[in-house]
Amino acid sequence: MQKIALIGAGRIGRIHAANVAAHPELQLAYVIDPIADSAASVAQSFGAKTADLDGALGDASVAGVIVASSTDTHLDFSLRAAQAGKAIFCEKPIDLDLGRAQGAQAQFEAAKARVFLAFNRRFDPNFRALKTKLDAGAVGKLETLHITSHDPSPPPAGYIPVSGGLFKDMAIHDFDMARWMLGEEPNEVFAAGAVLVDPEIGRLGDIDTAKTILRTPSGKICVISNSRRSGYGYDQRIEAFGSAGALRANNVVESTVEAWTENGAQADQFQNFFLDRYAAAYKSEMAHFADMLVRGAKAQIGYADGVAALALATAAQASHVKGLPIAL
């Protein structure tokens, strides 16, 4: 059993804690959170102890650290864990400041850190199956890609100022997905953002709607569609257009029941928000972390991937503000 310390006992921390506890090769040893009640609650639920960071990192029997704290602490906690020789499972994004994230890369390399940057959507069974078929040449050579990522409803207004903005907070998932699917680094970004959902988001300096185009050196084009409020659930789709056809991963529905009446057909809603929609992905990424710890597997998504996604998000924000395409 590999011992795990969890930093952050919030919403996503609790998900990871449950997946650690459920994994046959992992054991949740410590939960670290400045909010004592949260730490105690998660620790108690999954048979762990609460600890402070030094205590957890100082325990030589701890093999891996999960960083699920607030975004502004991801980088510092990851670096501390790296310097303590622990393998790291870090929530996205790696940081909100590209320069800082780039600057820290050498320190991670110096510590020979094993960092897994947990972009959960790569572990979604649907998107993974699409990628497998794409790589197998099911639709010939990939030419263009559409990623749709619409949240059901906007976050509380209080979250907006600390979120880093729509591109770094939300679209960063899609930038990572685009890099993974395209198999080529985008070298140009154009983003058109708007405030259409809630004027309060605009007053706080952010946007709630965006359409982004990425281009690669070989001329591949990717469109990302983002909204903070769909009005119809959590819309998570990918379409990949190739030289010999198209692949599509659709939304996952709450149930497969459809009802027909004289008024037409009625299908069930999409699975609600990320905790439900990506439950399998969170479980699967924890299995990957166990593979890293137990069998020495290489992280499928590393620190450099986190930096690359952040670079795209930063460029998209600049493009939106300036009204120009940005070269990378």
Partner 1 sequence: MSQKVDVAIIGAGRMGQIHGPNAARHPDLRLKYVVETDASLAGALAAQTGAAIATLSDALNDPAIRGVVIASSTDMHLEHSLACIKAGKAVLCEKPIDLDLAKARAAAPAFEGARFILGFNRRFDPHVSALRDKIAAGVIGNLETLTLINHDPAAPPPAFIPRSGGLFKDFTIHDLDLAYALLGEPPAEIFATASCLVDPMIAELGDVDTARVIIRTKSNKLCVISNTRRSGYGYDQRVEAYGSKGMAATGNERLDAVEVWTENGASASPIRPNFLSRYMPSYAREMDHFADVLVRGVKPSVGYAEGLAALAWAEACAESARTNAVVKL
Binding site for partner 1 (CB under 8 A): 139-140, 143-144, 146, 150, 188, 190, 192, 194-197, 209-211, 213, 215, 219-221, 223, 225, 227, 229-232, 235, 241-246, 323-325
Residue closer to partner 1, measured from CB, 8 or 233: 233
Shortest distance, CB of residue 265 to partner 1, whole angstroms?
13
**Helix axis angle, 11-22 relative to 36-45, nearest 10°?**
20
SS3 272: coil
Shortest distance, CB of residue 75 to partner 1, whole angstroms?
33
Per-residue exposure over 101-127, b if at least 16 CB sit within 10 Å of its own CB, e if not: beebeeebeebebbbbbbbbbbbbebb
Residue closer to partner 1, measured from CB, 106 or 244: 244
- In eight-state DSSP terms, residue 311 is H
d(CA 161, CA 326): 24
Shortest distance, CB of residue 145 to partner 1, whole angstroms?
10
Shortest distance, CB of residue 46 to partner 1, whole angstroms?
38
The C-alpha angle with vertex 320 and arms to 318 and 323, in degrees rounded to 5, equals 100
Residue closer to partner 1, measured from CB, 190 or 273: 190
Residue closer to partner 1, measured from CB, 93 or 193: 193
Q: Tokens 């699920």 map to which residue?
A: 68
d(CA 40, CA 43): 5
Distance of CA 286 to the CA centre of its chain: 13
Shortest distance, CB of residue 280 to partner 1, whole angstroms?
20
Residue closer to partner 1, measured from CB, 54 or 258: 258
The C-alpha angle with vertex 147 and arms to 177 and 75, in degrees rounded to 5, equals 35
Q: Give me the half-sphere count of Cα atoms (radius 13 Å) on the Cβ side of residue 237.
A: 14
Please say whether the beta carbons of 123 and 285 come within 8 A: yes
Shortest distance, CB of residue 289 to partner 1, whole angstroms?
31
Helices and strands (H, E) in the chain, number of each type: 13, 15
Shortest distance, CB of residue 276 to partner 1, whole angstroms?
19
Residue closer to partner 1, measured from CB, 93 or 242: 242
Residue closer to partner 1, measured from CB, 38 or 319: 319
In angstroms, how far is the first alpha carbon of the chain from the final one?
43
Distance of CA 146 to the CA centre of its chain: 18
Tokens of 108: 């991670």
